[in-house]
Amino acid sequence: MTETPLETKRPTAQSGEKAEAGQKAMTVLVVDDSPTSRMSVTRLLRDEGYRMMIAGDGEEALAMVRAERPDVVITDILMPLMDGYEFARRLRADPLVAQTPIIFHTAGYELEEAQSLADSCGISYVLSKPAQREELRQAIDAVLSETRAPLAPPEESFYRAHRRLLTDKLSEKVIQLEAALAESQKKEIRLQQTIEETIKAERALERSNKDLLHKHEEIQSFYHTVSHELKTPLTSAREFVSIVMDGLAGPLNETQREYLGIARESCNRLRVCINDLMDATRLETGKMTLELQSGSIATVVQKLVAVLGPVAKRKEITLTTRVEDLPDFPFDENRIMQVLVNLLNNALKFTPDGGQVTIAAGAARDYPDHVKVCVKDTGCGLANGDVERIFERLYQVPNENGGGSPGVGLGLYISRELVQCHGGKIWAESELGKGSTFCFVLPKHHPSEAIQVLIVDDEERTRDLMKRSLEREGFQVTTAENGAIALEKMKQRLPDIVITDLMMPKMDGAEMLKQIRESWSLLPVVILTGFPNNDQIKRAMEFSPFTLMAKPCPIAQLIPLILRLSGTKGLHK
Amino acid sequence: MKKILIVEDDQAISQSLAIRLKNASYEVNVAPDALSGLEFAMRKPPDLILLDISLPAGNGFGVAERLQSLLSTATPFIFLTASQKPGLRQKAKKLGAAAFFQKPYDGSELLETIRLVLAGERLDEECQVYAI
């Protein structure tokens, strides 16, 4: 058991207060089980010129008093082995040392009882802990001037009081200990809770990661389901209309045939709408995938004419093709076919009966290593403002009646995005009343070859995985483990696109984006994050544009996104 | 009379197909799922199979694969699908499909393709219809 250690720091005493020079130094024995308490008293009195001795409990102190005969003893009360009362009684009972003055130095709460017990032990001074220098000096002076009558053996009441005091003190100590124990248990529980919370948080992160992946798959499968569910009934509706129109359900009169024709045309428009909506959704959510395979543009143009030739014929439009001999190159045949069908459909739609539409394909003169395809019509043409806006999403050229032409207004938007996914460029040239020419160019080489990608992520595995996957696709890839390193690398060589994590040490994604925007206001940036943190995203928002994608992002989706964002690289005139 | 088996779970679609095909003087049978399609083809081998890709109790690719290994003579098959999952067309090509139609398809074009396939003519690339 130890007394509460309390050390009082006081400046050293002035020389005038010190024990007189030449006079033999008084010896003081300090008895205390608390080293701190012992040291504090010892230091104070040593400064006053006393010779100091120390003992840790009553038994040790008794031995020292007998051997060393100190002039004064200052003792604590509650100590292990032998307490202060017992020590004082034994000392008083030993005739050789019975006259040694004793001062009790004890914690304040027990002072009153200590005083009464002290009287019974022939002790006149009880100091409250921690005693000040002056109090100690006065007490020493006082006890030295006292004369002590021989001590009578203690009465029964002393023992009772002593026992009660000890019991009280003991229970107080026990309470203190229990409180300390409870406190440390609380701390341990808190620690345990923190550990559990950390584990929980880790699990939550894992779960949210899995959830994201799951969500991603769910969205994919939702697209497929919606697409499937819309198209299946449309297929049978259109087919039954056709069957009746073809006379398979009996003869039809002209009015019936006309009405069914309208119904079938509506089905056709619905089909285009569904496909456009699905494609636009795919593009906007970064879920468009390309199947690049070496192929020939001439073949695509042939198929195009096979599909839409009959429409031209119906309108008596002369459809001419001029296709140069070109080597095969990688592109997604279905997607480029889709672009061409859209351009040719528009040309046929806006060209009056008897007009001319020309499809030309060949090497692009203005763009080295590119193939250029143009669809030229002799239709109504476009106003300047419309030429600029025609590829915007949902933009429709207003017709004479102020309304839009039939369609959702997604066709050209999708065409532009699909061409850009290939790393190409699409544009229109037009003169109102004379006709329009829509052209696009596609790179002859794998579109990824010329593209520099900078990957910024603090996780080495992610960096390596992305680097390897993108390099396999032909991209040129550099990596950095945080924003600061990335900015350094960007200053040395500016990439065409930056793909970055958000949470990183040293400099996070949002801060890096801020600094990127200071120098390069339009550099394409993709933020790939596993755990979207609202604050960081909000911060990043101030430095848009950027594209936000959930991690992990399948490489098949990342590629068209990179191509589309960095797509017009080197193609700006 | 040439026999055509339709494996398609949407009844309205299989019915419209059956009307067209019967009108073109084919003998038509319909199976509404992968398993019954397979069973029917084994019992009464058709001259051509129209296969939906997503089917109950399996899928069109599985049916095509099983039939290729089980039937003694090579039976041409044409896939019809409303799905736009990437890679389906390539997979159909790999399996040796005669044609691949995206729903909604054009009935008369499908009929013309069937006629050419049954006449044993190799389909030119242009004849494979694209979703417009």
Q: Could you give the ipTM of this predicted complex?
A: 0.77
CB contact under 8 A, B132 and A271: yes
Residue B107 distance to chain A (closest CA, Å)? 6
Hey, is the C-beta of B109 within 8 angstroms of any chain A C-beta? no
CB contact under 8 A, B19 and A248: yes
Contact A252, A245 (CB under 8 A): yes
Pairwise CA distance, residues B70 & B64, whole Å: 10
For A528-543, the pLDDT digits (tens) are: 887 767 777 788 888 8
Of A80-89, A313-322, A352-361, the range with the lowest mean pLDDT is: A80-89
Pairwise CA distance, residues A88 & A90, whole Å: 6
Contacts of B131 in chain A (CB under 8 A): 275, 334
CB contact under 8 A, A271 and B17: no
A 237-296 near B (Cβ less than 8 A): 238-240, 242-243, 246, 248, 267, 271-272, 275, 278, 289, 291
Q: Hey, is A365 helix, strand or coil? A: coil
Q: Which residue has the higher pLDDT, B119 or A554?
A: B119
Pairwise CA distance, residues B63 & B58, whole Å: 8
Contacts of A303 (CB under 8 A, 6+ apart): A337, B125, B126, B130
Q: In the predicted model, is pLDDT for residue A3 greater than 70?
A: no
Per-residue tokens: A363: 């090497």
Q: What is the predicted pLDDT for the residue at A151?
A: 59
Per-residue tokens: A488: 């350094």
A 212-231 near B (Cβ less than 8 A): 224, 227-228, 231
Q: How crowded is the C-beta side of A258, counted as CA atoms within 13 Å?
A: 3
Per-residue tokens: A208: 């949210």
Q: Which residue has the higher pLDDT, A182 or B123?
A: A182
Q: Nearest CB to A228: which of B82, B86, B90?
A: B82
Question: What is chain B's length?
Answer: 132
Contact B35, B58 (CB under 8 A): yes
Cβ neighbour number for residue A269 with a 10 Å cutoff: 13
Contact A335, A290 (CB under 8 A): yes
CB contact under 8 A, B87 and A234: no
Q: Greatest CA separation found in chain A?
A: 145
Residue owning tokens 């195009």: A304
Opening angle at CA B72, ends B56 and B55, nearest 5: 10
Contacts of B23 in chain A (CB under 8 A): 248
Q: What is the predicted pLDDT for the residue at B15?
A: 93
Per-residue tokens: A261: 């024709």
Pairwise CA distance, residues A473 & A449, whole Å: 8
Contacts of B16 in chain A (CB under 8 A): 236, 239-240, 243
Pairwise CA distance, residues A163 & A167, whole Å: 6
Hey, is the C-beta of B94 within 8 angstroms of any chain A C-beta? no
Please state, in angstroms and as integers, the Cα–Cα distance from residue A553 to each residue in A212, A534, A538, A559, B19, following that order: 10, 19, 21, 10, 46
Please state, in angstroms and as integers, the Cα–Cα distance from residue A318 to each residue in A257, A464, A471, following that order: 28, 55, 46
Q: In the predicted model, is pLDDT for residue B128 greater than 70?
A: no
Q: Nearest CB to B82: which of A232, A302, A337?
A: A232
Pairwise CA distance, residues A185 & A182, whole Å: 5
A 326-345 near B (Cβ less than 8 A): 334, 337-338, 341
Hey, is the C-beta of B84 within 8 angstroms of any chain A C-beta? yes
Q: Which residues sit opposite A476 in a β-bridge? A: A452
Exposure of A438 by Cβ count < 10 A (0-12 exposed, 13-18 middle, 19+ buried)? buried
Contact A133, A13 (CB under 8 A): yes
Q: Nearest CB to B86: which of A233, A246, A289?
A: A289
Contacts of B56 in chain A (CB under 8 A): none
CB contact under 8 A, B108 and A307: no
Q: Nearest CB to B126: which of A291, A302, A334?
A: A302
Q: Nearest CB to B83: which of A228, A234, A306?
A: A228
Q: In the predicted model, is pLDDT for residue A332 greater than 80?
A: yes
Contacts of A177 (CB under 8 A, 6+ apart): none
Please state, in angstroms and as integers, the Cα–Cα distance from residue A133 to each residue in A26, A43, A48, A53, A125, following that order: 16, 10, 9, 17, 15
Pairwise CA distance, residues A127 & A115, whole Å: 9
Pairwise CA distance, residues A1 & A34, whole Å: 9
For A181-218, the pLDDT digits (tens) are: 888 888 888 888 888 888 888 788 778 777 877 777 77
Task: Give the rounded distance of the alpha carbon of A263 from its chain centre.
Answer: 54
Q: A243 to chain B: nearest residue by CA?
A: B20
Calculate mean pLDDT across residues A512-518: 89
Q: What is the predicted pLDDT for the residue at B104?
A: 86
Mean pLDDT of chain A: 82
Q: Nearest CB to B126: which of A242, A243, A303?
A: A303
CB contact under 8 A, A303 and B84: no
Q: Hey, is B123 helix, strand or coil? A: coil
CB contact under 8 A, B125 and A299: yes
Please state, in angstroms and as integers, the Cα–Cα distance from residue A271 to each residue in A229, A451, B106, following that order: 12, 36, 12
Calculate mean pLDDT across residues A64-79: 88
Hey, is the C-beta of B22 within 8 angstroms of any chain A C-beta? no
Indicate which of A225, A228, A264, A348 best probes the interface with B, i.e. most B CBs within 10 Å of its own CB.
A228
Q: What pTM does this model have?
A: 0.52
Hey, is the C-beta of A232 within 8 angstroms of any chain B C-beta? yes
For A431-480, the pLDDT digits (tens) are: 888 889 999 999 887 766 678 899 999 888 888 888 888 888 778 899 99
Beta strands in A276-317 (DSSP E): 293-295
Residue B73 distance to chain A (closest CA, Å)? 32
